Chain A
Amino acid sequence: MGKIGIQLCGSYLPKYRIDRNLIAASWGRSSLGGERTVANNDEDAITLAVEAARNCLHGDSLEKIDGLFFATTSAPYKEKMNSAVMASALDLNRELVTADFGYSLRAGTGALKAALDSVRCGSARRALVTAADCRLGYPRSDQEQSFGDGAAAVLIGDQDLLATLEGEYSICNEMHDVWRNPEDTFVRTWESRFILGEGYTNTMSEVVRGILKKYGLEPKDITRAVFPAPDPRTLQGLAKKLGFDMKTQVQDPLISSIGYCGAAQALLMLVAALEEAEPGDLLLLANYADGADALLFRATGEIGQRSSQRKLQTLLEQKLMLSSYARFLSYKGLIETLPGEPFRLFPSATATWREAGSILRGHGSRCQACGKTTFPIQRICYHCQSKDQFVEVPISNYQGEVFTFSLDNLAGRSDDPVVIQTIADLGEEKVRFYGMMTDCNPSVVQIGMPVELTFRRIYDGMGIHNYFWKLRPVNKEDVTNG
């Protein structure tokens, strides 16, 4: 058996950030400094992971992907496969193994190891691993500030590798350090000195020393140590204890710019490391929770040749600052929005299942008689009235421009009052799409503005999360201006 490893990687960060000083000031307490990502009110762990996967897979053929493993501790559905929604949104084949991993911040590396094992044993040719989290810390707690929302994805295979798997080592260690019960909204923690010392630092030390010993390596052999950490100071202590040079060897834990993204943090940092790696670099990923996983990857000559669609650095730069702590609480669902307008939309499991081609997969129909492409799928052509003479075409990767728009003050939520009603022409075929614009300052919208599609949770009703596509600006300046 040849090498297995990572073929492609990508990440995704919500556009919204909040300055930690803003949270701190709202409570009259000290700030941890920096900022954190905040999922938009139309985003959740599923949509974040879909975006990360789209950034990862961009331009790659989807046919050979036959495994999809999703890791999160904030699954939108507690019973129902979240990765199945994702597989549709990514337009993956039906011949596919899907699995959800959860219940621990080690779910990310657990899913990664499962994907590596699947490819190694031949049960999957190419397995996509996604991880995303939107965890909640108690209001006023350190976690409220230190947590972030984000996602990452890696594609595992046995050829065209960016990085090869060089070693693995895991240990299990039961303790109550951070946990959440079924009825809990927020994470519970024991005393921080216990969980950081006895839990994090000692367990991480054990797994890192274990994998180095197993493969006859020393800390100096590691180019990049990728250690997700609850805070930068604890990471510094760990690095010193293990003999890694903080400045040259240790990957930025992303706490100051993004925050700790739960089950996604390990893969998010791995993607960040891969995007900066040189051929031959040896990366050590170690991930902690009730024990720890350690994995060794070596960057190949391909590294840097095939980059992610949008690198983490670009995602970091494209941001909109949340204007208030109140909006943060509302986006997090911790305070209710005004009931306002009743939705008269009744979710229908059967209708959305029947129309999943358009709604989730983002398929339009191309008329084989006249060539016109429309969205959503039309059985009878708008143009030539041919009946059932169409092929489905995926349009979710199309870019286009705004044809017309309205900034609707009646349609929004109380924490997000302006809905940008948008009509766009997408792709060379100018497929007409109608939807809402998201992640955009309304004042910058104009006819002709470049846009693309993003997968979002558009509303909830009857316990059903309704996912669909929205438009968003393509250019960085359209996100951040105004």
Chain B
Amino acid sequence: MGSIKDKVAIIGMGCSKFGERWDMGAVDLAIEAVYEAYGDAGIEAKDLEACWLSTLMAPVIGVSGSLAADGLKLGNIPVIRNENWCTSGHIALLEACMAVASGAYDLVMALGVEKLKDTGFPGLGTGRGMHPVYEARRTSPGSFGLIAERYFKTYGIPMEEGKITMAKIEVKNHDNGSLCPKAHFRNQITVDTVLKAPIIAWPLGLFDCCGNSDGAACAIITTPEKARSFRADPIYLKGFGISTDAMIPHFRPDFSWTSFNALVNSSRKAYEMAGIKNPREELSLAEVHDCFSITELLIYEDFGFSPRGRAKEDVDSGFFTRQGGLPVNVDGGLKCFGHPVGASGLRMTYEVYKQLQGKADLPERQIKNPRLGLAHTFGGPPQISAVAILGNERG
């Protein structure tokens, strides 16, 4: 397999405030993120040669990339819409990177935007429209609840302990998010808060689930050769991995529900490209897809951060906190930002980008001497995973 390690650089990023943005439409959200990125990169719209737009929901079909072309007045450049469930933002970013690495373009944008709060419903809804029967009444919390029940059973962890472990992950994420000005939820919580909250899909309670928010984020990408003409501290793509698995893994024989091939495959491909042998030691930070607390726990193991069945010990020791050995979801994750689906991958990348530049918005949440950061999304039924590894030094 080939590699595009160090063949592209990110020279500007922007991220809107995430939350219930009742006063803003999808275009407004995009403008908020994009003009921050233009400023960060020191470019103007006319400099862009192509745009990859990531959005899932609004409007569902039939508008291709016109949301960005119309709203941002991108003129006659290609605007290529990308829909890959929750990984849409990451895959748009990686497609944009591949286009630059191929030499087809020199300066492109990946833009993720999602306006969930115009649908009138607090959640993404039941029934995904993928199959007229098999998907009836399936929800995301329900699907991930299936993981939690099986994971704790498999490893012989009593559910009361499992619930506390999951709660500790959310306490950590809320602690991180409380320092993050762009986060939707900035309240600190305790294990007790999590345990006493209403159940959404047993065993997952309210605080085990991320919220639905509106938001947008984007990245400006160019070649490493040109990057330095835009800024002194470009961030380089070190590796990526994307893996798509069974459509409805629920029916898949022998599927363990304690580990996902897509998570393992995508992370291993990314490590290989980036030259990472021991992610636990080598990564400075990771933004992973914490749609539910149990997902983050599972990712620790599937990504090789923790041994199989032992992630609980790392949670207990505080290994993934801001001060720990491998800080995870330093900005509060999906838990605090909510999950405007198409925007999330780029929002996570934004955090890694800022941290690697040493430019986190508040000094108290800046990771010390970061070198390599991982950003990840996991979506679909759930079976699509995308990992991007970024570094602040060109190898």
Which of A's residues lie within 8 Å of B, judged by CB?
341-348, 351-352, 355, 359, 372-376, 382-383, 403-412, 419, 421, 423, 430-434, 436, 442, 447, 458-459, 461, 466, 468
Residue pair A345, B135 in contact (C-beta under 8 Å): yes
B148 contact set on A, CB distance < 8 A? 406
Question: Nearest-CB distance from A431 to chain B (Å)?
Answer: 7
Give a binary string over B241-272; 1 marks a CB under 8 Å from any A CB, 0 the rest.
Answer: 00000101011111101000000000000000
B231 contact set on A, CB distance < 8 A? none
Give A405 to B142 CA distance when docked, in angstroms: 8
Give A434 to B133 CA distance when docked, in angstroms: 11
Give A343 to B138 CA distance when docked, in angstroms: 10
CB within 8 A of A374: which of B123, B125, B198, B253? B253
Residue pair B202, A406 in contact (C-beta under 8 Å): yes
CB within 8 A of A421: which of B125, B129, B146, B198? B146
Question: Nearest-CB distance from B136 to chain A (Å)?
Answer: 5
A341-B123, A344-B128, A423-B250 known; A407+B134 contact, CB < 8 A: no
Which residue of chain B is the closest to A433 with respect to CB atoms? B251
B252 contact set on A, CB distance < 8 A? 374, 382, 432
A345-B129, A410-B200 known; A423+B138 contact, CB < 8 A: no
Q: Does B153 reach chain A (CB closer than 8 Å)? A: yes
Give A423 to B256 CA distance when docked, in angstroms: 11
Q: Does B394 reach chain A (CB closer than 8 Å)? A: no
Give A342 to B123 CA distance when docked, in angstroms: 10
Residue pair B199, A404 in contact (C-beta under 8 Å): no
Q: Does B201 reach chain A (CB closer than 8 Å)? A: yes
Residue pair B132, A434 in contact (C-beta under 8 Å): no
Residue pair B199, A351 in contact (C-beta under 8 Å): no
Ordered by A's residue number, 5 sampled pairs between the chains whose C-beta atoms are within 8 Å are A409-B202, A411-B201, A421-B142, A432-B251, A436-B137
- Known: A374-B253, A407-B202; 18 extra A-B contacts, CB below 8 A, are A341-B125, A341-B126, A345-B127, A345-B129, A355-B133, A404-B153, A406-B141, A406-B143, A408-B145, A409-B200, A410-B141, A412-B137, A419-B142, A423-B257, A432-B252, A432-B255, A433-B251, A458-B136
Q: Does B139 reach chain A (CB closer than 8 Å)? A: yes
A430 contact set on B, CB distance < 8 A? 253-254
Give a binary string over B106-131; 1 marks a CB under 8 Å from any A CB, 0 the rest.
Answer: 00000000000000010101111101
Give A427 to B188 CA distance when docked, in angstroms: 48
Residue pair B138, A411 in contact (C-beta under 8 Å): yes
CB within 8 A of A409: which of B129, B138, B199? B199
Residue pair A434, B142 in contact (C-beta under 8 Å): no
Residue pair A434, B253 in contact (C-beta under 8 Å): no
B95 contact set on A, CB distance < 8 A? none
A421 contact set on B, CB distance < 8 A? 137-139, 142-143, 145-146, 201
Residue pair B136, A459 in contact (C-beta under 8 Å): yes
Total of A-B residue pairs, C-beta within 8 Å: 146
CB within 8 A of A466: which of B136, B153, B248, B250? B136
Q: Does B150 reach chain A (CB closer than 8 Å)? A: yes
Question: Nearest-CB distance from B33 to chain A (Å)?
Answer: 27
Give A461 to B127 CA distance when docked, in angstroms: 12
Residue pair B150, A403 in contact (C-beta under 8 Å): yes
CB within 8 A of B137: which of A346, A419, A442, A447? A419
Give A468 to B136 CA distance when docked, in angstroms: 10
Question: Nearest-CB distance from A396 to chain B (Å)?
Answer: 15
Give A466 to B203 CA distance when docked, in angstroms: 29
Give A447 to B153 CA distance when docked, in angstroms: 8
Interface residues of B in 129-176 (CB under 8 A from A): 129, 131-139, 141-150, 153
A411-B139, A436-B137, A466-B132 known; A343+B126 contact, CB < 8 A: yes
Residue pair A375, B251 in contact (C-beta under 8 Å): yes
Residue pair B136, A410 in contact (C-beta under 8 Å): no
B134 contact set on A, CB distance < 8 A? 376, 434, 468
Give A375 to B132 CA distance when docked, in angstroms: 16
B199 contact set on A, CB distance < 8 A? 407, 409
Residue pair A411, B142 in contact (C-beta under 8 Å): yes
A352-B133, A359-B133, A458-B136 known; A407+B251 contact, CB < 8 A: no
Give A432 to B249 CA distance when docked, in angstroms: 10
A375-B251, A423-B146 known; A403+B136 contact, CB < 8 A: no
Question: Nearest-CB distance from B255 to chain A (Å)?
Answer: 7
Residue pair B200, A431 in contact (C-beta under 8 Å): no
In the complex, the 10 A-B pairs of residues with the closest C-beta atoms, listed nearest first: A406-B145, A434-B250, A408-B142, A407-B202, A404-B150, A345-B127, A421-B142, A344-B129, A408-B201, A411-B137
Interface residues of B in 195-214 (CB under 8 A from A): 198-204
Residue pair A407, B145 in contact (C-beta under 8 Å): yes
Give A407 to B128 CA distance when docked, in angstroms: 19
Give a binary string over B25-36; 1 marks a CB under 8 Å from any A CB, 0 the rest.
Answer: 000000000000
Give A421 to B246 CA distance when docked, in angstroms: 19
B246 contact set on A, CB distance < 8 A? 382
Give A346 to B131 CA distance when docked, in angstroms: 8
Give A373 to B257 CA distance when docked, in angstroms: 19
Give A419 to B255 CA distance when docked, in angstroms: 22
Give A466 to B246 CA distance when docked, in angstroms: 24
Question: Nearest-CB distance from B124 to chain A (Å)?
Answer: 9
Residue pair B153, A432 in contact (C-beta under 8 Å): no
Give A341 to B120 CA distance when docked, in angstroms: 10
Question: Nearest-CB distance from A206 to chain B (Å)?
Answer: 50
